[in-house]
Chains A and B, each alone.
Chain A
Amino acid sequence: MAKLSVRDVWKSFGAHEVLRGLSLEIDKGQMVCLIGASGSGKSTLLRCLNLLEPVDDGEILLDGQDITDPDLDPQPVRQRIGMVFQSFNLFPHMTAVENVLLAPRRIRRKRREELLPEAEALFARFGLVDRMGHYPDQLSGGQQQRVAIIRALAMRPEVMLFDEVTSALDPALVGEVLDVLRALKAEGMTMVLATHEMAFAREAADKICFLDEGRILEEGPPSAIFGAPREDRTRGFLARVL
């Protein structure tokens, strides 16, 4: 059974249809990269997966359970699906470690001291242990984004969503964030990325999905999508970005 299964999902903002019957299967431990032009629906799909946006129609199954059911409490679902944003969205009034500890403290109802070792281990793993007491504006973009990833990981999610997490970064800082993504993949995290980093997608992804006008026009292993795309529009898109 797929870890995450998107079935015929529709989503409009006003008269604008962003997702038009999109379907997608994501297996456990897979890294799926969503590619496509701006406005093709990549970010909206991720926001729907995290229940930040309600879908208009269709269903999303997490381990076989429909999470779009309006009677379902969305909070436990969100705890199982971590999300990282393009512009980091760290809480500016909290230090890095406070950013990371907020959700575990409130949701797991544990004291700071009990949670600190685990958080510290995450900071250490991503080379930020000396930055724990810093405020976001005292950190570089790459450091901020890594803290944002740690913040999402601190809830021990089963799936991680990444919404163009390197797009706002200085080119020199992109590498350190991509390294984190590789490390997560290596330990078997299920990941969905919206990305413009084609080289990274080609090297690291298990599956590439090309989104076009709210649907997945073409999907397959990187070798197929980048090597021999079937669709004209996929070829056109790749020609423009590569």
Chain B
Amino acid sequence: MRRRSLVIATASTALVVAAIVLLVPLAPGWERVQKAFFNGEVFWKTFPGLVKAFLVDIMIFAWCAPMIAVLGLVIALARDARSPALFPLRLFGMVYNDVFRGVPVILVIYLVGFGIPGLGLPRPWNSPYIWGTVAVVLTYSAYVAEVYRTGIESIHESQRAAATSLGLSHWDVMRFVILPQAIRRVIPANMNLLIALQKDVALLSFIGPVEVLRQAGVYKSLLANFTPYLGAALIFLAVTVPATRWVDRMIARQNAARS
């Protein structure tokens, strides 16, 4: 049975690939598209430069991710504040999440990235790296906060009751009993967000930093050819595909462990 499905899957894949390879070049504009997007010479000439520019993406990602992890947690905790006196904190968390999850990332990047340096800040405080980072961190923290909150809420009330009955403070209950379990439980979900972040870092190019997307644009204008975009896409895929597979495996393992 399994063997038969394998044969069918292979045959149908081969058929589709053959159709694409044979039929697409028959399209009237194929020759132009091939030259503009699949130009081998341009590809090899620009690829090393693109990889180098991608290091900027990695750099931005590397400092954004920990900031997002921390700020997201702070906002999740603010939203979890139970005492009536802390209601303003809770309200702030709620409004924050509504705003930053409701506005497209690129818009936040424009508003923060152009708006704040526009106040006439001196160098280096007008750097697009700083304000682009702020924009990305603000936006992603809202999503990460929601993920943390789901995790916190997924911990059964009896854990809180047991810890509270021992005489631990609200904060100690959170810190030692709830959070360690909650954070572990939502690692896969947060990993998915990190993969999305890895791609969205490229949006910073719109306010200045020459990272891989911007670099590809520069090459495109220089060489009047779109192939560098293909190179940039391949670089992203080389990172995101393995990362996604890894997260999927982690989720599968977690599900298996729970059932």
Contact = CB atoms under 8 A, between A and B. Distances in A.
Q: Do A and B come from one complex?
A: yes
Interface of A: 47, 50, 52, 75-79, 81-83, 85, 87, 89-93, 102-103, 106-107, 148, 151-152, 155
Interface in B126-181: 158-159, 161-169, 172, 176-177, 180-181
Contact of A83 (B165, B169, B176, B177): B165
Interface size class of B (residues with CB under 8 A): 10 to 19
B164 A93 contact: no
A115 B161 CA distance: 24
A93 B172 CA distance: 15
B184 interface: yes
Given A89-B162, A91-B159, A92-B181, A102 B176 contact: yes
> Which 6 pairs show the lowest CB-CB distances between chains A and B?
A79-B167, A89-B162, A103-B166, A83-B165, A78-B167, A89-B158
A82 B163 CA distance: 11
Contacts of A47: 161
A157 to B, nearest CB: 9
Given A85-B158, A106-B172, A93 B180 contact: yes
A83 B161 CA distance: 10
Interface string B166-209: 11110010001100110010000000000000000000000000
B167 A93 contact: no
Nearest to A92: B181
Given A106-B172, A152-B166, A93 B184 contact: yes
A77 B162 CA distance: 15
Contacts of A148: 162
Contacts of B184: 93
14 contacts: A52-B164, A77-B167, A78-B166, A79-B166, A81-B165, A82-B165, A85-B161, A85-B162, A91-B181, A93-B180, A93-B184, A102-B176, A102-B177, A103-B166
Nearest to A89: B162
A103 B159 CA distance: 14
Contact of A103 (B161, B167, B180, B181): B167
Contacts of A91: 159, 162-163, 176-177, 181
Q: Which has the most chain B C-beta neighbours within 10 Å: A47, A77, A78?
A: A78
B164 to A, nearest CB: 6
Contact of A155 (B159, B163, B166, B176): B166
Contacts of B180: 93
A154 to B, nearest CB: 9
Contacts of B162: 83, 85, 89-91, 148
Nearest to B163: A91
A106 B168 CA distance: 7
B171 to A, nearest CB: 10
Nearest to A107: B167
A197 B127 CA distance: 71
Given A93-B181, A106-B169, A152-B166, 12 more contacts: A52-B165, A78-B164, A78-B165, A79-B167, A81-B165, A83-B162, A89-B159, A93-B180, A103-B167, A106-B168, A107-B166, A148-B162
B178 to A, nearest CB: 10
A110 to B, nearest CB: 15
A90 B165 CA distance: 12
Nearest to B161: A52
A78 B167 CA distance: 5
A85 B167 CA distance: 15
A183 B168 CA distance: 27
Given A91-B177, A92-B181, A107 B168 contact: yes
A50 B165 contact: yes
A102 B159 contact: no
A188 B162 CA distance: 24
A161 to B, nearest CB: 8
Nearest to A86: B158
Contacts of A89: 158-159, 161-162
B166 A87 contact: no
A75 B169 contact: yes
B196 to A, nearest CB: 28
Contacts of B159: 89, 91
Contacts of A50: 165
Q: Which has the most chain A C-beta neighbours within 10 Å: B165, B176, B177?
A: B165
Contacts of B163: 91, 102
A102 B161 contact: no
Contacts of B166: 78-79, 82, 102-103, 107, 151-152, 155
Contacts of A151: 166
